[in-house]
């Protein structure tokens, strides 16, 4: 599937992400997890921040790739885990079509699956998420961006 399906951008700053993670952690703090399984690579960043908030030191990964920038390809699963997820917190940055989530759910059916952001198609596949984002929005994460000069509006309009 190609990038043409994304008509808008939903930009998330480091600050916003950190605040969102902490908000999600308020909903998770009462639960007792054996550890976290992060879905690489996007899940690694929220997983590290969640681990800090919930005081979890045991972190494993499921290594999986589906997108080449905005273009969705086949799922490439490079590493799994040797358990069914019972008592574990499974973390990804977002769920979009749900293709990644479906594959990981099959591997870890008993894990508690959370994402920071969820689009409608993938939303039913996770147990918990913080913010819903429209299906046609591309979520632009801070690790994919940099700080750049922006021309004053007056100069932009002169062109
Ligand atoms: O619901 P889906 O349509 O499957 O999309 C969601 C997945 O896509 C992204 O990962 P990506 O494959 O781009 O790899 P990355 O985490 O290494 O960036 C994102 O981090 C999710 O894991
Ligand atoms: O950075 C990303 N933003 C998205 O909206 C998205 N959907 C799938 N994979 C994604 N990666
Ligand atoms: Mg990912």
Q: Which CATH architecture has domain 3-158?
A: 3-Layer(aba) Sandwich (3.40)
**pLDDT-above-70 percentage for the chain:** 99
Question: What six digits make up the tokens of 124?
Answer: 């039913």
* Domain range summary for the chain, segments of one domain joined by +: 3-158
Ligand 2 pocket residues where CB is under 6 Å:
67, 94, 96, 138-139, 141, 144
SS3 (DSSP) at 60: strand
Beta strand 59-68 with 71-79: parallel, antiparallel or unpaired?
A: antiparallel
| 48 CB-contact burial (10 Å; exposed 0-12 / middle 13-18 / buried 19+) | middle
Q: Read off the pLDDT of residues 76-130 as tens digits, 9 standing for 90 and up.
A: 999 999 999 999 999 999 999 999 999 999 999 999 999 999 999 999 999 999 9
Determine the Cα–Cα distance for residues 80 and 7; give it in Å rounded to an integer: 33
Number of helical (H) and strand (E) elements in the chain, helices listed first: 4, 8
Is the pLDDT reported for residue 142 higher than 80?
yes
From the CB of 97, is ligand 1 less than 6 Å away? yes
Q: Read off the pLDDT of residues 14-63 as tens digits, 9 standing for 90 and up.
A: 999 999 999 999 999 999 999 999 999 999 999 999 999 999 999 999 99
**109 Cβ neighbours under 8 A, 6+ residues apart:** 84, 85
pTM > 0.90: yes
């Amino acid at each position: 599937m190609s990038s043409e399906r994304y008509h808008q951008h939903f930009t998330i700053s480091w600050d916003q992400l950190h605040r969102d993670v902490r908000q999600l952690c308020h909903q998770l703090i009462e639960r007792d997890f054996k550890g976290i399984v992060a879905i690489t690579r996007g899940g690694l960043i929220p997983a590290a921040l969640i681990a800090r908030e919930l005081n979890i030191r045991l972190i494993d990964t499921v290594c999986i790739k589906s997108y080449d920038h905005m273009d969705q390809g086949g799922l490439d699963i490079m590493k799994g885990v040797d358990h069914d997820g019972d008592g574990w917190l499974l973390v990804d940055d977002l769920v979009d079509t749900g293709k990644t989530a479906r594959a990981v759910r099959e591997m870890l059916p008993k894990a508690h699956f959370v994402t920071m952001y969820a689009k409608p198609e993938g939303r039913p596949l996770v147990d918990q998420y913080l913010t819903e984002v429209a299906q046609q929005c591309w979520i632009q994460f801070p690790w994919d961006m940099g700080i750049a000069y922006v021309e004053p509006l007056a100069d932009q309009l002169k062109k």
